[in-house]
Amino acid sequence: MKSTVLEDLDRRGLIFQITHDELDETLQDSQTLYCGFDPTADSLHAGSLLLLMGLANFRRHGHKPVALVGGATGLIGDPTGKSDERVLLTDDILTQNADALGIQIRTILDRAMGMHTQSLVSTKGTDIPIVNNADWMKPWSFIDFLRDVGKHFRVNAMMQKDSVKSRLNEREQGISYTEFSYMLIQAYDFYHLLENEGCVLQIGGSDQWGNITAGTDLIRRRTSKSAYGLTFPLLMTADGKKMGKTESGALWLDANKTKPYVFYQYWVGRDDSQVVDLLKKFTFISVDEIDEMAKADNRGELQRRLAYELTWLVHGKDVADTVVAASKMLFGAPIENLSDEDLASLFADVPSTQIKREDLENGIGLLQLFSDTGLQKSNGAARRLVEQGGAYINNNRISDTDRVVTMDDLASESMLVLRAGKKKYHLISVS
């Protein structure tokens, strides 16, 4: 019989590989599991969302997730999927990053417990333990580590791992001894967490398979306990890019790094061909319900639902509601005769720029304004935009390249909305 979690994960298309089938049986009881996060930045980005969904799904089925932020592994750099040697980060930065990630992970996983709760075991969770492998890795002496851990690894086997093999084959880059050792540390983490936190399962992206199995192998050699690994599929967008990457870089989960509005819009913009799949993977709506929704011919409704659910999960319901309202406003009729109050709260999470009142009183060239806000990267680009009919003030198309923007253009007491093309908006407020 399939355990309910695996059954659910499977129906959602979240399972890529599992180390042994007995995992199923083990998961009949409540278990502790963990997933590692890389503290290379002070925020997670959309690429980590799948992992969070994984942890959240387990938790919603009564299991206990632990999040590992790799202070130690971060110091070394995971060679997986990287063609270049990683730039090493300093201790301080990693600690700060790890702290920030911990808060983020907890917030999101707690929020996940409150969404679509019907038919779930329990929504009351205790705090997710956030552990840092620097705590148990740092005390090791090099010699001790080699004796106690290194001894259990065959270099022959390590060289077979894809992450290592690909780097060995690239003659010009190669792999440093440091990065080569990465796997040992991740393997030891698993061992440590099994012994100390009772983690019997490690989950991760499909690229982590080699590192995860290194852990289960180590555990088999050193103990008589069982440990399992489970990986998620790698998600690609319809045009073959990594999910969650935008032209301007990663899609961050931190509201200061990526505005919630932008985050929401990213998901609204997903292809029809993928949206059902994404709903299953990235929301807690039941699979049956999603299949039901998919039958209806509802023009973009699925994308909006996906975006709403995700924004809710990552930024909270209030923010999600505002962002939806802001989107409705922006994608609707001309924007005019509104009050600052309405606009300010509505557009709080939309990208914005402040300009000086006197500047606007004197008038600012439209092209200048477009390039100043970063909506266009140069005056020339802004000119082209206007010439091609893609420039709007308050949703009214402007075709005059010499147009000067003045106080008359304000939609409310102190704000106006600039738009490039069909969906890029930028709020200008006067201070």
Q: Minimum Å distance from CB 150 to RNA?
A: 30
Residue 99 CA to residue 56 CA, distance in Å, equals: 20
Spatial strand order of the sheet with 130-132 comes to: 17-18, 228-232, 199-205, 32-37, 64-69, 130-132
Binding track over 115-154 against RNA, x by CB under 7 A: ----------------------------------------
Looking only at the bridges linking them, the beta strands covering 391-393 and 396-397 are: antiparallel
Looking only at the bridges linking them, the beta strands covering 199-205 and 228-232 are: parallel
Residue 420 touches RNA, criterion: CB under 7 A: yes
Distances (CA, A) of 397 to 183, 332, 388: 56, 14, 10
Residue 296 touches RNA, criterion: CB under 7 A: no
Residue 99 CA to residue 74 CA, distance in Å, equals: 13
Residue 236 touches RNA, criterion: CB under 7 A: no
Indicate the residue among 162 and 301 with the shorter CB distance to RNA.
301
Binding track over 264-283 against RNA, x by CB under 7 A: -x--xxxxx-----------
Q: Applying CB under 7 A, which part among 5-13, 102-110, 123-131, 385-393 lies near RNA?
A: 385-393
Residue 84 CA to residue 105 CA, distance in Å, equals: 28
Indicate the residue among 232 and 267 with the shorter CB distance to RNA.
267
Q: Minimum Å distance from CB 298 to RNA?
A: 8
List the one residue from 2, 147, 151, 328 that touches RNA (CB under 7 A).
Answer: 328
Q: Minimum Å distance from CB 368 to RNA?
A: 9
Q: Which uninterrupted H or E stretch holds 58? A: helix 49-60
Q: Minimum Å distance from CB 169 to RNA?
A: 10
DSSP label at residue 192: H
Number of residues in the chain: 431
Residue 300 touches RNA, criterion: CB under 7 A: yes
Residue 295 touches RNA, criterion: CB under 7 A: no
List the one residue from 80, 390, 394, 411 that touches RNA (CB under 7 A).
Answer: 390
Closest Cα partner for 321 from 341, 337, 304? 304
Residue 377 touches RNA, criterion: CB under 7 A: yes
Which is it for the CA torsion 11, 13, 17, 19, positive or negative? negative
Q: Minimum Å distance from CB 399 to RNA?
A: 10
DSSP label at residue 94: H
Beta bridge partners of residue 236, listed in sequence order? 242
Residues that bind RNA (CB under 7 A): 171-172, 238-239, 247, 265, 268-272, 299-300, 302-304, 327-328, 331, 367, 371, 377-381, 383-385, 388-390, 420-424
